[in-house]
Structure 1
């Protein structure tokens, strides 16, 4: 049977004990609806609760909750239990709660999400250099994440997606990974050594389709788009400074994205992800469609990305083209046109200027 996670937004007066009682009532009747409650998370501070349930479908979960206490879930998504465990650390009740009669679990499902990317640098490396570098970097990252209780949800040669329960652990881990990066990279070509780290946060179930999708989306965009090497959301900063009363975020080391900047970033990326591949897409309709003048858009992009609108469009297309090349989604000419470039020759020229290698050479190094 599929596994689902639901979200309940609970009133302030409802505490962990009340949620535990409702969970026990669910367990008494779950067999009537073909369901099996696996565990739950309760966050009194954020007034949310999340249930992990094996069920035939979403309706069975709704009917079960309605039968017992009339508390319909605000959202339900289907999940992979391995992914749930990677993010949240468990898929069953905590050991300390198993032997108690009421089984009160005051355990938030809120997590800090870390995205690490090194693609701009790694894609320049020869194959054998890449393998040596990656192994050193991976070992360094693993050691740091273990020290600061980070859980790797997903990783490949170029990126990591990591979950933290503690905001302080996440920030300290990011600073440590950044510090150690220079000691594991090759001594040559030092100007190309690139590492981007972003920290966002959120809850596992929103109105999106996937676990932590909302938090992952904004954090990934922060990592890929902003010009700083280490960037955090305004919420992460507030939580960090709340946990560490006498310590503030060092602006020289970490950029905090303001709420208005986060909103602009999402607006920008939602739009460009729809339109980037069209050759007719240009700066004029870019600013007009976003609702800004050319000068306003220029200032906002420079502040956020360090790039002009023209450069931003071109580099976004190159980034997508690189991904298509790596996944072998077509030959060079096909990918050039699919990425919005007017000719394969111009595409190859731009690709070389960005990555220091021709598309054909990149394929030989990393794919064939």
Structure 2
């Protein structure tokens, strides 16, 4: 069995540990400096090992990394470059969930000389959204517009933000403040977060969407010179964006991130009753005609291995576990920087973890046409 080290025992790290330890193919060690989080994890998932670790301490990290197949970073985005460097130095594959653009760029530079795989951005957005979008893009002769929309929303909103905390508060604040990559009229640009507000409906429900940072992953590089317009926006219920602009800009809490984090975590409860919305729309020319194809999906919270998990936990953890599985199976490059769009959509959806993105156990043959999942 492959030995895996997960750094971070939080909302997503716990589910990654559950999925991998339960499948029978991985020996899992979870490391965190929070003894209480490790204690809860050890009680719930006895088939794994826990280690108290301050990941800032390189001398403590090195012995835990010894003989591991992969390091999975499920800690805050600020740890990404440090842990990627430690994994590369130890000859260990590296995966993370970061939406932080600067961290992903530093890992890409580090990967040029690495003997193992360094694969950041393995979650939902960035992550799965790039896989679905790239699959649609391959069906066009020339591309006009690629629009990617993702939201993790409470099913029963009950506050002025119409939002509940479902994942990293640090990551949420980061993506609401940092510049957003896009391609506009064929030119790569940085757009301000929280801007370009739009409204749309899906399955009879109304939403708003606006710029947030990091969701495109590496698609700006991959599609540069091929697409006229490429953008990513986060989906929320109506009114959320305006309240966040008040907090971040008018009250200047964007300049005091630690205080804003404390306020949000003290006032906004976590919910397990959520829905993840994924929407990709691609238009372009095919066989001389202007065509459009769309991928839309809603994933809800449910029980996995006897424990209720939120939709954002399920989708984020399953996406990373799928990437790990595909590397083990030889379906990804064996070294260097690996992009999300290097994963074939069919490979992802027919993977045992990727099937958590299916509807009622059935998945179309592609991101746009009907049919049952093919046996690989």
Task: Settle same-fold status: TM greater than 0.5.
Answer: no
- TM-score normalized by the length of structure 1: 0.24
- TM-score normalized by the length of structure 2: 0.24
Structure showing greater radius of gyration is 1
Higher helix fraction: Structure 1 or Structure 2? 1
Higher relative contact order (CA 8 A, sep 6+): 2
